[in-house]
Structure 1
């Protein structure tokens, strides 16, 4: 959630980029130039007065008094030079004043306007919003605030260049400005974020009409270096005083509405609703609890058996994280993993999962369970860490785990984000004898052809394909194709989410290698999975 600081506090500080307030910046200069200018004018006036007196006295001096006339001429020459000096000084002061006014405008531009788009910046927004609110109270009007965030703009900077990105930001600012009324104002906050102020509106309908125009105008392609780019935006609307009665709250609420628009699929807008605030507070509480959970060791691993389809025996387990919350009980990963991804907590959590799983595998090996593989999921953020391979290898050494017993699972979508990076990382891991599985296959956008390029061992068929595999002919065809082509490329196939004997029978007939799912076992805590491991019974015979 992209919440910002407290605009009220920033507004009260009244500091520009120089670190001084406007009053501090200009008052001393004005006093200084005022004193010098007054002094120059007085000096000039005095000198002119003296020269006029000298000329008067000179007329009354007898021509025979040459010494006195000579002295008068010297005094007159000195006074004339002083007059010239005073005039030059006056001109210099005038030029300095003009220069100061220009500098003042430059400083004002730096302090209140964005250098890239030339739009008002965040500080200008905070000052003007306060004035708009005061006027709306006076005239019983409403003020709309629209928080705008460009969708997937980071991709433009990363894949094209920051120069192209800057050009698009300028175009976006101009396009938004062109859709607004004369009384409205668009400001660039930072990065790819803009805020629009809509003073004097009657309510939500007015704001929505303007927002729809902005969304529509952004549907057109952006042109840069004769290339077309499509950039959309998510927008959130909050209304003063309907939704909030102070600057920081209305800004926060419009931001929350914008995030809801992103959750709803992007390229759309959302109005602030009061329940959003409740959900935000719950989210913050959960985030803080999750941070404490890492420190207090409230996270635990459950293990789901993976069954060899031929023998019916357990040949591996998948390590799945759970959160044993002190008051809310056992929290499943779907409730907190997305939050961990968003906040970056997935990095320490992912490392903890890997270390704990490797440590447990090493203990099982010492107990005599020598060939039991353990699967660990890698998140998108983990996979993008530059030290990922070093971290994994370090944990293997630290825990004395046999690398061939570790199976790292990455999703299809993660693998396809950057195919070259994926190949490099996976090749490095495979060189260490670590196994790689492509998880959730079929749910992303890759094709079977990409499997040839990836140094993987196993393809995991996603549960969504297994669910209807006995009733849907197309699902059966897909599953059969995945199994056959994977085997042709010397890859193993594991089917997830097997819940019925009909599903199992079909997969066995198609020669799928391994299965896992509730038909055989739910994910189990350590003590229960160890009982099953020690019994070494076949799951299929047991289920029959």
Structure 2
């Protein structure tokens, strides 16, 4: 009995080891693309070795053979034949597709049925038994007696054993490839041990039946082990089926959840979703489609895609549909017509629907981009057009001019600026200013017509590019027509407003061969027109470039002069017309340039105004004048006022009055001793602000005078609007007295009006005794001019004042 047990143990060790080796090799070859022929050869070697070695061990155990080199070599030699037989058999089975020998996920997933396994098992069982009979008779020369009962009985048992082994291997592979469960060698070893016992005991019974009677204990072992093998195989398969059922339920639940999520995404998606078949019929739509199209669900299912597409859109999107049906996702824009006949612009993303590897239709997800595209078009329009006037803006008109340079040998540009436009905004409000710009645009269009292009550069600046002109005279004629048509008063909010324009003209290519140069030169010409008195056009000349360079140079020098305080104040006395008493002094700035010498205020004051240096310069004048007045007051009992000229920009600056008051406090000068002189242009261009600031200054104790009165456009009625202390009659009216009767009448009238309004009158530029006599006769209050004194340095002025005390002229 011990020998039988030892026999079964040895056979089990050999079979279990070799079968586990097969599992291990399969695992290691996974994903390495092992050729089918190599795997077939490996399997044939294992089977051939087992087929040969188990009968050999059985004969040794039964003592029908002795363990020797000769018997072992014969066994190995004949195992080669079994390997070849197994290889050919397995290869043929693989070729005809009955059973795949190398396991893979795709092959394992196929339903094979019982018949292939039974055929394979029966062939293997028959071959093994025939091979044993051959070994005993022809190799080992052992006399045997083959009976049909023994052979049939053993074939049935061996076929069952082999079938169970095949099923075990199949389900181990199912665990591995389909269920992703790890196969432990303990589990496989259990299966293979029971198989080994059944297989070894069956062969033992068969061989013993050939040479002797059946061994009853071994027969019982064979049947019992086969029964156990069946039981554990069935149990294993049942557990596997239960596990698969659990996985199926889990997958079904996931599928159900995914379907619910899909339906939720489909139903509540704010974008319209169409499901369309290959014929263009709507198979399903979400609620957003009904809101978008205005149709009911029943109505939409009666329509085809082409029924809601607008105009010729169907032909347009056919190419996109073809791309979708090829398997691509495409995006495109199209238009549909709603039930209410409204045209809606859609951005569509289309992708195919595939069922069982066949495309059955496509999804179309559509966004309504009608308003978005309208907004985008407006943005694109505003990128190149002025929103207020609808004219091309700076970017657009510059592009047009650049294009004109490429195709035209001659054209002209006119840069237009509305004179004193700020006054309109200040007096009538910005809405009135906008209305005026629109009206100017209409008149420009009517005047220019098809002879050129008009653009708005910004603010109150326009650019006209005259393309259909051939001579300078044509250009100037159009400029004159523009000026003429603008002289007609504009009706704005129930009021009539007259305007003038300043224009600068340049010619291509003479005045500039690129856009920037051409416009820069037009700008120079336009400012030349302004300096000439406005309401004028000026053509560009090279001298303007020289003037500009000179201005740039002087601007830099002026900055340095302010930093280094290269200035000095001179003081021109004002005398009483009655008794020649000094009643005031006007502070006048002088610039002593380190290399150019004396620079006239007429040259650098306007430049300071243009470059905004005037505030720095004006602050220096205020502090220097107050400091000087303070020094005089410490040396002599002076009673006269000090007049300080304030530029328009400095006057309207928010910090002007606070700076003035802090300076008074610093130098301990009473406000009553200071006379602030402003210009006519300030009153005209900033009427309301000027009135307010004059009132504030007078409340603080200052006197306020209007300088150079009569040279601008101020009417006499303006005098009643401003709480002035005095007007200074410009020297241009005084110069020709007493000979010029017209000027005499003007001066006499100005003095008279001022007297009636309680305003003092000061005459500027008085140079002769005759002029002084006329002014005294007309009751003018104050005299200023070379008849008494030119502007004097501070020390000389104090000496002049001291020498003049008590004199009467």
TM-score by length of 1: 0.75
Q: Please name the residue that 2:400 is paired with.
A: 128
Q: How does 1:240-251 map to 2 (within 5 A)?
A: 240-251=508-519
Of 638, 643, 648 in structure 2, the residue corresponding to residue 380 of structure 1 is 648
2:554 to 279, 282, 286: 286
| TM superposition shift of 1:417 | 5.3
Aligned length: 469
Aligned mate of 1:44, from 300, 305, 325: 325
Distance 1:146 1:447 in 2: 32
Q: Does the 8 Å contact 2:652/2:690 carry over to 1?
A: no
Residue 88 of structure 1 pairs with residue 364 of structure 2: yes
The CA RMSD measured in Å over matched residues stands at 3.6
1:465-508 CA-partner distances (Å, limit 9, x unpaired): 33233334455455455556655666544332221122223334
Separation (CA, whole Å) in 1 of partners of 2:683 and 2:662:
23
Match of 1:234 among 492, 499, 502: 502
> Is contact 1:144–1:197 with CA below 8 Å preserved after alignment?
yes
In the TM superposition, what whole-angstrom CA distance separates every residue of 1:486-537 from its partner, at most 9, and x where no partner exists?
5566654433222112222333455544322111211112232233244455
Q: Report if aligned partners of 1:149, 1:258 keep a CA contact under 8 Å in 2.
A: yes
Match of 1:393 in 2: 661
More displaced stretch, 485-494 vs 145-154: 485-494
Task: Tell me the CA shift for residue 435 of structure 1.
Answer: 2.7
Listed as ranges, the matches of 1:270-419 within 5 Å are: 270-412=538-680, 414-415=682-683
2:770 to 502, 509, 514: 502
> Match for residue 248 of structure 2?
none
**How do residues 132-211 of structure 1 correspond to structure 2 at under 5 angstroms?**
132-136=404-408, 141-180=409-448, 182=450, 184-199=452-467, 201-211=469-479
Q: Structure 2 unaligned runs (5+)?
A: 1-316, 329-352
Helix, strand or coil: the match of 2:510? coil
Q: 1:415 & 1:101 partners in 2: Cα distance?
A: 50
Post-superposition Cα deviations, 1:51-74, rounded to whole Å, max 9, x if no partner, equal xxxxxxxxxxxxxxxxxxxxxxxx
Deviation, 1:203, is 3.5
Shift of the 538–318 alpha-carbon distance from structure 1 to 2, 3 Å rule, reads farther
Give the whole-Å Cα distance in 2 for the aligned partners of 1:311 and 1:302: 24
Name the counterpart of 1:16. none
For 2:722 and 2:412, the matched residues in 1 are separated by: 51
CA distance in 1: counterparts of 2:641 and 2:666, whole angstroms? 18
Moved more, 334-343 or 423-432: 423-432
Return the alpha-carbon distance in structure 1 between the equivalents of residues 571 and 471 of structure 2.
Answer: 54
Task: Tell me if structure 2 keeps the 8 A contact 1:291–1:345.
Answer: yes
Please identify runs of 4+ aligned residues in structure 1 that moved more than 6 A. Answer: 36-40, 79-82, 98-104
Residues 1:112 and 2:393 are matched in the alignment:
no
Q: Could you list the per-position Cα deviations for residues 232-272 of structure 1 after superposition, in whole angstroms to 9, with x for gaps in the alignment? A: 43332212212222221111112222223333444443222
Contact 1:409 1:437 in 2 (8 A): yes
CA distance in 2 between partners of 1:436 and 1:281 (Å) = 37
Please state whether the residue corresponding to 1:324 is helix, strand or coil: strand
In the alignment, the residues of structure 1 paired with residue 790 and residue 410 of structure 2 have an alpha-carbon distance, to the nearest angstrom, of 55
Which stretch of the first structure deviates more once superposed, 319-328 or 483-492?
483-492
- Pair member with larger Rg: 2
Gaps of 5+ in 1: 1-35, 48-75
